């Protein structure tokens, strides 16, 4: 007998214990048919159910290596798309709440990137001059654009290697959608700041002159992460005045001055590794999402290591937070009853081109 989809309303007002119990029961029932991948920014209430946790690169690899019939993603939309693209066609990827997007990823879209290419093409042979590099925080069609135009995907943990790959092919890089990651990566590679210019997609020719583009090595898309832009240089200065022996670490989505003042800059995985391997008793100021920082603070307490959040304000990634116990319980309970809800499925042609750009990345990193 065909069962019907279980409605979300059944879980919406449920107590946390009830959701936790149904998540565990469904996992038990599904066994090895299910794998749950969880990004470090997820809240503990769902993160604890992940079979694999990691930054976006590690989770992309886990998706590619998984044999499970169902891949449930605790993260945001672009991450589930990557899992779908890198997994086999018969595997099913699920995002428990479809409204879990990424506001930075939404700052670039195919229409605007195509317009940028058209405008640049009036002055340059685009495919011979620019390597398009998209941060993994982008929609699948932008990854497909990179696949089609000899470009590549990067994450915050491999951006420098990827940029080197890009420059080995063409003289300039078009980097989207995060200007901060692009600028920081270029700066680390020794590219002067005036050779990295911001392309504003809402202005003709990106708001730039022909001379500026001629002179530039990198065109940085005008996009940013609303969570990481909350971290400011004065937060670091205040911390250093109070704790001169303290260390500062930041995610490269943070503003340039924050990265420049930090002792270390890197992906979520890098932040965790650096802090967990630091001498006991170290005091850290951390510029990345709150759930990760709170989890790390708890984990390091027994070693006397103090982990402090960089901003006085609460900067949670509100879209990551949409994956909560009610949504996870609802998605898993449906799977346990043979119903698929919230499947993420990238169109085949787009997936093929996006995979090209992702495979180039996996090969390089």
Binding to ligand 13P in span 248-267, by CB under 6 A? 251, 253, 267
Return the one option of ligand SF4, ligand 13P, none that residue 320 interacts with (CB less than 5 to 8 A, by type): ligand SF4
Does 282 participate in binding ligand 13P (rule CB under 6 A)? no
Select 132 or 287, whichever has its Cβ closest to ligand SF4: 287
Is 278 one of the binding residues for ligand 13P (CB under 6 A)? no
The separation between CA 285 and the C-alpha centre of its own chain, rounded to angstroms, equals 21
The reply on whether position 56 binds ligand 13P by CB under 6 A is yes
Place of tokens 């990106």: 206
What residues numbered 84-103 form the site for ligand SF4, per CB under 6 A? 102-103
- Give bridge partners of residue 284 from the DSSP assignment: 247, 307
The answer to whether residue 289 forms part of the interface with ligand SF4 (CB under 6 A) is yes
Chain residues 290-309 in contact with ligand 13P, contact rule CB under 6 A: none
Cα angle 187-192-193, degrees, rounded to a multiple of 5: 75
CB of 62 to ligand 13P, least distance (A): 12
Given a contact cutoff of 8 angstroms between Cβ atoms, the answer to whether 183 and 193 are in contact is yes
227 binds ligand SF4 (CB under 6 A): yes
Q: What is the DSSP string of 347-358?
A: -HHHHHHHHHHH
Nearer to ligand 13P, 78 or 126 (CB): 78
Determine if 212 is a binding residue for ligand SF4 (CB under 6 A).
no
Q: Angle formed by the axes of helices 77-86 and 348-364, to 10°? A: 90
Residue whose structure tokens are 């650096």: 274
- Select from 80, 103, 43, 57 the least CA-distant residue to 292: 43
- CA distance linking residue 220 with residue 182, whole number of Å: 6
The whole-angstrom separation of Cα 10 and Cα 186 is: 50
- Partner in contact with 103, chosen from ligand SF4, ligand 13P, none, beta carbon below 5 to 8 Å by kind: ligand SF4
- Interface with ligand SF4 in residues 299-358 (CB under 6 A): 317, 319-320
Nearest residue to 177 via CA among 153, 144, 213, 210: 153
x/- letters, 143..162, toward ligand 13P (CB under 6 A): ------------xx------
For binding to ligand 13P (CB under 6 A), which residues are involved?
Answer: 55-56, 137, 155-156, 225, 251, 253, 267-268
């Amino acid at each position: 007998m065909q069962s019907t989809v279980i409605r979300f309303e059944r879980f919406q007002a449920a107590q946390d214990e009830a959701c936790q119990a149904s998540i565990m029961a469904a996992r038990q029932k599904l066994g090895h048919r299910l794998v749950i991948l969880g990004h470090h920014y997820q809240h503990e209430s769902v993160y604890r159910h992940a079979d694999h946790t990691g930054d976006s690169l590690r989770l992309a690899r886990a998706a590619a290596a998984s044999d499970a019939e169902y891949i449930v993603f605790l993260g945001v939309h672009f991450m589930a798309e990557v899992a779908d693209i890198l997994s086999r066609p018969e595997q099913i990827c699920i995002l428990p709440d479809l409204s879990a997007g990424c506001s930075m990823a939404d700052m670039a879209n195919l229409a605007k990137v195509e317009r940028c290419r058209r405008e640049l093409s009036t002055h340059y042979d685009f495919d011979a001059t620019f390597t398009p590099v998209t941060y993994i925080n982008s929609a699948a069609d932008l990854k497909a654009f990179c696949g089609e135009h000899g470009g590549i995907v990067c994450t915050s943990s491999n951006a420098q290697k990827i940029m080197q790959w890009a420059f080995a092919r063409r003289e300039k890089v078009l980097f989207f959608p995060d200007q901060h990651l692009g600028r920081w990566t270029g700066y680390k590679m020794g590219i002067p700041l005036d050779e990295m210019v911001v392309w504003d997609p809402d202005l003709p020719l990106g708001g730039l002159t022909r001379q500026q583009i001629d002179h530039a090595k990198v065109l940085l898309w005008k996009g940013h992460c609303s969570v990481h832009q909350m971290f400011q240089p004065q937060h670091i200065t205040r911390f250093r005045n109070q704790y001169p022996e303290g260390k500062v670490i930041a995610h490269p989505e943070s503003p340039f001055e924050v990265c420049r003042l930090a002792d270390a800059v890197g992906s979520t995985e890098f932040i965790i590794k650096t802090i967990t391997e630091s001498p006991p008793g170290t005091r850290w100021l951390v510029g990345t999402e709150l759930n990760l920082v709170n989890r790390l603070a708890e984990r390091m307490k027994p070693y006397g290591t103090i982990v402090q959040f960089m901003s006085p304000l609460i900067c949670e990634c509100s879209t990551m937070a949409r994956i909560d116990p009610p949504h996870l319980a609802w998605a898993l309970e449906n799977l346990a009853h043979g119903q698929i809800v919230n499947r993420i499925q990238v169109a085949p042609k787009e997936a093929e081109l996006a995979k090209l750009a992702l495979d180039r990345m996996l090969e390089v990193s």
